Every structure is written in C-alpha cells, then in structure tokens.
Amino acid sequence: MSAPLPDALRARFQKLIEEGLSGRAAALRLKLSPATGARWGLAIRRTGQARAAPQGRPRGKRADISYLQDDFAPFVIGISSVSSP
C-alpha cells in the first residue's frame, strides 16, 4: 500500500472546494485523479475535512485462549524444562 497523500495537499484541495469548485475540477487543478477528487470532496461535504485513512493492520483484541491452558499445560511444562540448561 502506498503512503497517504500529504495533509498540505488535502488542505489546498479543501480550500478549492470551499471556493466552489467541484471535486473533479479541484482534483484536475492539483493533478490528482478524478476518483480521488470525488472521494475527498464527499469527505469534506460530510465531515468538513479530508483525512487520510488509517494505515496498516487493524488493532484487534487477542483471542481468549485461557480455556486451552489446562489441556496444553503438560506440553508447555515439558518444553520449558527441556529447553532450560
């Protein structure tokens, strides 16, 4: 995945939208794709700004494996005693 476009570019885009240009026209003026202009224009109309989406894997909860502890305890104890000097 590529890096998000800079916030300064997003601010310039937002200024053009506030001046009355369409998302497509603002995108073409800043040499962006029309699809990006449409997406950013929609975001500005909905939320008032166009922020970059979060990058990377979503942070989630770890799986609860405590119910497996009793089943695998003999194996884990056996492995830890073998690997210690």
Instruction: Give residue-wise pLDDT tens across range 6-19.
Output: 889 999 999 999 99
Name the burial class of residue 71, with classes exposed (0-12), middle (13-18) and buried (19+) by CB atoms within 10 angstroms of its CB: exposed
Inside any domain, residue 36: yes
Inside any domain, residue 80: no
Inside any domain, residue 39: yes
Inside any domain, residue 38: yes
| Contacts by 28-37, CB closer than 8 A, 24 or more apart | 32/5, 36/5, 37/13
Q: What type of residue is 46?
A: R
Inside any domain, residue 17: yes
How confident is residue 35, by pLDDT bands cut at 50, 70 and 90?
A: very high
Inside any domain, residue 83: no
Domain boundaries, position 31: 7-47
For residue 16, CA distances in Å to 31, 37, 51 come to 13, 11, 16
Single pTM value for the model: 0.62
Inside any domain, residue 74: no
> What's the rounded Cα separation, in Å, for the pair 17 and 31?
15
| Number of domains making up the chain | 1
